[in-house]
Structure 1
Amino acid sequence: MPLIAWALMTVLSIIWGSTFLFNRIVVVEVPPITVVFFRIAIGAAILLAVAIALRIRIPRDRRAAIDFLVMGLLNNAIPFVLIVWGQKTVGTGLASILNATTPIFGVIIAHLFTTDDKATPNRVAGVLLGIVGVAVMMGVDALAGLGDHIAGELACLGACLCYGFAALWSRRFRGRPPIATAAGQLTASALILLPAMLLVDRPWTLPVPSSAAVASILMLAVTSTAIAYVIFFRVLTIAGATNVMLVTLMIPPSAILMGALVLGERLALQHLVGVVLITAGLVAIDGRLARALRRRLRGTDAPERARGA
């Protein structure tokens, strides 16, 4: 991937690193479908306003509508609800570790259903190394509850599977403006979730949420949705569908480093080891360093082979 893609993914990982915290705050007071609907609806309204202001056209033909609806289901409506519901019983640390399995699903699905994005040993090894790094970073405590709330954990893994298929479907959006794609899929997601929220959660019967819950929903809508998806689809255009899924490996270190820099939280040895392992995995996936080393070795070996001949 080009360096600009890595830079944008770093920013995206910092934004999405806060999502699990906001989910944990708001899900105590507001049902999952309602949380996700307002997150998506507000984010869609923001992006539609930006698109109108910048005179960016959002496709409205039948094919575009189907593309947006499927993407909205796979990338927002289903996985967001699964993750928020799962976090009713699954802790933030374990949820982020399970979320880090997303690239595995992405690599497998791309390998099975595409001809130009096959799995390579470097990519598979890098993803596995990255997941190990996430587990080390989050620590044994985060894994302590593994298996205790199997339904919630399966919900988080189901969300990752959805993201893998969303990455495959997102290949249809290459070449389109990121704001148009993000606004279209979020609008479709909101339309899908509206009847579900009205039928299942009946929000008019719920107590008024606290200011902390309202603030969390607004942060989820503005930063974790509107801004994040513009960046996401920009990376998709630059680096491709499978590579953009690697951001899930970068979320835990971003969240922990953010806590150390902003909140003064202590960095433990396990955090540093985890960062090293994740970085090694991303370097293996990128392949640039390995190719440079191979070229260098071939260059130094050439005189020896000539002399041997």
Structure 2
Amino acid sequence: MMVVQTALVLLAFAANSLLCRWALREYSFDSESFTIIRLVAGAVVLSVLLWYQNIRLGSRNRVCPNSRRFWLLGLGLFVYASAFSMAYVSLDTGVGAFVLFATVQLGLQWVNIWRGARPGAWQLVGMLVSITGLALLLLPGSALSSWWAVLLMVTAALGWTGFVVLGQGSSTPLADVQAAFVAASLLSILLIPFTAEPEWSNWQPLLLAVISGAIASGLGYFGWYRVLPWLGIHRAAQVQLLVPGLAVLMGALVLSERLTTLMLLAMGLIVAGVLIAIRARRSVDT
């Protein structure tokens, strides 16, 4: 059962990239509106789930809206979601997922170092290999329409890294994720002046944004917290390697996206570097 849940969660993660790129490229939907709808839809679904859980368990788990933690969780998620959508104006589905995934993994490695962990030689090698892969995506001729889109996705990854670090060791993960979506939805009010005039007859991108927020994000993140204890941190890091590959496949099948040889080489280096770093860290821990 956990294997099936893990597979569904990974598909949800990859689907977020596809749904965002689909709405922005195929329907010229603006990234700000996509972000707002995604966050609000996720907040609604997670609030219903939290309400149901509290009734079923007879508890009152929630994060206080006046707390510093509430707004920090929301800020991390808001930075991630807004930069994620803006990056996908230019990035293809798979490329964006690779940049996001690699930066998150590298960010978590650096957080461990900052906390006092001593990285081994192979960990440093792995991190340098992944950074080389990211650098290749910025080179002229990599078929990217603009380098700033990569930097936006890196920013999104840093926001997600902060969100993950804040959630480490959470005793009430559903309450924390719900609080993050509610706070991020409130912060998304800042994006309203930059949104385009809504075209209610163009319902397809609106539906894609709702699916991204309610299912791929809301239910996907909740499902991730459910399978994480079963996977363990090292296996969880490894199975996430499947997400960018799934995103590439989805982009090719649904949006007919193509990859250049340079981009494939860059993404290969990213995966190889992350694998080296993860395996090296596991060897040190054991």
**Mapping of 1:52-131 within 5 angstroms?**
52-55=51-54, 57-61=60-64, 65-74=67-76, 76-99=77-100, 100-112=102-114, 114-115=115-116, 117-126=117-126
RMSD: 4.2
Change in 2 beyond 3 A, CA 1:283/1:8: farther
Q: Please tell me whether the aligned partners of residues 36 and 80 of structure 1 are also in contact (alpha carbons under 8 angstroms).
A: yes
Structure 1 residue 73: deviation in Å? Answer: 1.2
Q: Please tell me whether the aligned partners of residues 104 and 124 of structure 1 are also in contact (alpha carbons under 8 angstroms).
A: no
1:24-73 CA distance string (max 9 Å, x none)? 1222433222211111111111111122122253334367x321221221
Deviates more, 1:209-218 or 1:126-135: 126-135
Higher relative contact order (CA 8 A, sep 6+): 2
Q: Please tell me whether the aligned partners of residues 238 and 278 of structure 2 are also in contact (alpha carbons under 8 angstroms).
A: no
**SS of the counterpart of 1:251?**
helix
1:147-195 CA distance string (max 9 Å, x none)? x412222111111222233333223xx24233222111111111111x2
Q: Distance in 1 between matches of 2:63 and 2:155?
A: 30
Q: Please tell me whether the aligned partners of residues 32 and 191 of structure 2 are also in contact (alpha carbons under 8 angstroms).
A: yes
Structure 1 residue 102: deviation in Å? Answer: 2.0
Q: Distance in 2 between matches of 1:50 and 1:21?
A: 25
Q: Please tell me whether the aligned partners of residues 96 and 153 of structure 2 are also in contact (alpha carbons under 8 angstroms).
A: yes
Q: Distance in 1 between matches of 2:127 and 2:247?
A: 19
Deviates more, 1:276-285 or 1:205-214: 276-285
Q: Please tell me whether the aligned partners of residues 10 and 247 of structure 1 are also in contact (alpha carbons under 8 angstroms).
A: no
> Which of 194, 216, 219 does residue 200 from structure 1 map onto?
194
Structure 1 residue 247: deviation in Å? Answer: 6.1
Change in 2 beyond 3 A, CA 1:209/1:58: farther
**Mapping of 1:211-290 within 5 angstroms?**
211-234=203-226, 239=232, 249-256=241-248, 278=271, 282=275, 285-286=278-279
1:70-108 CA distance string (max 9 Å, x none)? 12211x211211121122122223322321332112211
**5+ residue gaps in structure 1?**
296-309
Q: Please tell me whether the aligned partners of residues 102 and 160 of structure 1 are also in contact (alpha carbons under 8 angstroms).
A: yes
Q: Does 1:189 align with 2:152?
A: no
Instruction: State the one-letter code of the partner of 1:170.
Output: G
| Count of aligned pairs between the two proteins | 269
Q: Please tell me whether the aligned partners of residues 122 and 276 of structure 2 are also in contact (alpha carbons under 8 angstroms).
A: no
Change in 2 beyond 3 A, CA 1:198/1:101: closer
Q: Distance in 1 between matches of 2:277 and 2:15?
A: 27
Instruction: State the one-letter code of the partner of 1:198.
Output: I
TM-score by length of 2: 0.73
Q: Please tell me whether the aligned partners of residues 58 and 184 of structure 1 are also in contact (alpha carbons under 8 angstroms).
A: no
Q: Which is higher, the Rg of structure 1 or of structure 2?
A: 1
TM-score by length of 1: 0.68
The equivalent of 1:167 in structure 2 is: 164
**5+ residue gaps in structure 2?**
none
Change in 2 beyond 3 A, CA 1:153/1:129: closer
